[in-house]
Structure 1
Amino acid sequence: MPYAKLTITVPDAVWIGELSRAYPETRFRVLAATADVATGVARIEITGEEPEAISEDIRDYDTVTDLTVFESDERMRRVQVETTVPLLMTSLQNSGVPLEMPFEVCDGEMAFEATIPQQNLSKFGETLDGMGISYRVDRIQQDVESDPLLTDRQEWLLDEAIERGYYDTPRRTTLVDLADELDIAKSTCSEILHRAEERVLKDYMGDEKGARPTVAVSSD
């Protein structure tokens, strides 16, 4: 499936578009959001100068029916905003594109990333065009699905070994101690780590061979 990265220009008709332009250095991070035809609810983290003043400005919009403050300090405030006419959220949902949270709006622009079927991506663009919402495509690439490098068990044991200092210099734990602490046989521990190390090293060296220039080595 294609991976798409877009920058959406939020219309001034949407309060967060106008307000983020009024405070271009402030970051509006949408942590959660939902909408239907008539109403929308979003939980937003406001970070920057004057978050308290900004949240009060939000209350002044006719489309904002309620605002609840959950957390606040000098440079950050988390709020829940309820609105009518949720233009942006409705357009995103109508396109059939799952909106991954969180996303950010800064200076009137929203960063959007998703891995979606080609037909949904096309419909998404058509929906934005139909609602007069401008955007630019920053990147599209075919997402290639591949098997994970390590199995879950290999990854778990490798993480534990790193965390407990097995790969430190000098080592903070031995193979025997590591196996005892994790309640697995020493031979099993050794085998799993060896296979994990083999895959990681071969993958790394494969990437390195493709990236580095060929160096001639003399016999002198």
Structure 2
Amino acid sequence: MPQARLLVDLPDGPWIADVSRDFPDAGFRVLTAVPDESAGFALIRLTARDVDDVLAAMRDHEALAKVSVMARGDGVATVRIETNAPLLLVAAKRSGLPIEMPLDIENGVAEVDVTGEHERVAALGKRFDEMGLEYELDRVRQRVDPVRLLTDRQQELLLTAVELGYYDVPRRFTLTEVADHVGIAKSTCSETLQRVERTVVREFVDDLPTRPLDEEVDAAGDSASDGGDAASETDAESAPNRPTYHS
């Protein structure tokens, strides 16, 4: 199943955007969060050179109803907060696609990881646009569950082959050596690994979108800032230039 990372440029107003921009060297990691339409509750790990200054800015921000320090250390604090403007959580709730935790925010930019069908990711992008949130697609990759795909025997042989260096370039172990190591015939080893490779590759290919994610977002009524260039870039897990989407 596709896993995507979106870099969301938070607008001025929400406490996390304002405070993180006031303290660009500070890091905010949302460990857990519970959304509501008008409020949100979260446990946050704060790292900063001057934690007290950051905490003071959080307490002074009008969007934070409550700030409780749960633990303190040198340059770090675990904080429970209640906010009246949980933009990211509300967008995720409306799209039906939960944001994965932990969620990192630095200098007004949130790294949002989600796993789901491309239609769901596109729906989340639409919610971001509706709420005035600018974002860019950082990466898309496939998440494969080997326990569901492979038998115990296949998993064991695959892990052994990887450990021995059969899939290294150049190979450190030949197919014959892998078969001898696990005590099976070369033909059996070859057939089993071929089945494993076919299963994994098919799973990967079946989950690939029939068109790039940015085109799906466009079809839902969104617009991309860099036009047609973005379409070719979102096909791959890694691209030299990342597309930026604007509301």
**By the TM > 0.5 criterion, same fold?**
yes
Aligned length: 169
Counterpart in the other structure of 1:212: 170
- In structure 1, the partner of 2:10 is 10
Matched, 1:201 2:201: no
Q: 2-side partners of 1:59 and 1:38: how far apart?
A: 19
Distance, in Å, in 2 between the alignment partners of 1:56 and 1:17 is: 15
- Find the structure with the greater CA-based Rg: 1
CA distance in 1, matches of 2:144, 2:69: 42
2:133 equivalent in structure 1: 133
The answer to whether the 8 A contact 1:5-1:111 is kept is yes
Counterpart contact for 1:32–1:42, Cα < 8 Å: yes
For the 8 Å contact 1:52–1:77, the answer to whether it is kept is no
Q: Which amino acid aligns with 1:31?
A: L
Instruction: Return the offset for 1:146.
Output: 3.6
Q: Aligned in 2, Cα 1:202/1:73: closer, same or farther, shift over 3 Å? A: closer
SS at match of 1:11: coil
Question: In structure 2, what is the equivalent of residue 65 of structure 1?
Answer: 65
Per the alignment, in what secondary structure is the counterpart of residue 126 of structure 1?
Answer: helix
Q: State the AA in 1 paired with 2:42.
A: A
5 Å matches for 1:1-220?
A: 1-147=1-147, 151=152, 196=156, 199-204=158-163, 205-208=165-168, 211-212=169-170
User: Per the alignment, do residues 199 and 2 of structure 1 end up closer, same or farther by CA in structure 2, a change over 3 Å counting?
Assistant: closer
Change (3 A) 1:123 1:203: same
Any idea what the Cα deviations from partners look like across 1:57-95, whole Å, max 9, x if unmatched? 111111211111111123011111111132232112211
Deviation at 1:212, TM superposition (A): 2.2
TM-score by length of 1: 0.69
User: What is the distance in 2 between the residues matched to 1:199 and 1:123?
Assistant: 37
- Aligned-partner Cα distance in 2 for 1:45–1:51: 11
Displacement of 1:117 after TM fit?
1.1
Query: TM-score if structure 2 supplies the norm length?
Result: 0.62
SS in 2 for 1:206: coil
Displacement of 1:124: 0.6
1:29, distance to aligned residue in structure 2 (A): 0.7
- The one-letter amino acid of 1:206's match is Y
Residue pair 1:149, 1:199 contacting (<8 A) in 2 also = no
Unaligned 5+ segments in structure 1 are 155-194, 214-220
Per mean C-alpha deviation after superposition, the further-off stretch among 4-13 and 25-34 is 4-13
Contact 1:31 1:101 in 2 (8 A): yes
Measured at CA, do residues 101 and 143 of structure 1 come closer, stay the same or move farther in structure 2, by a change above 3 Å?
Answer: closer
CA RMSD of aligned residues (A): 2.4
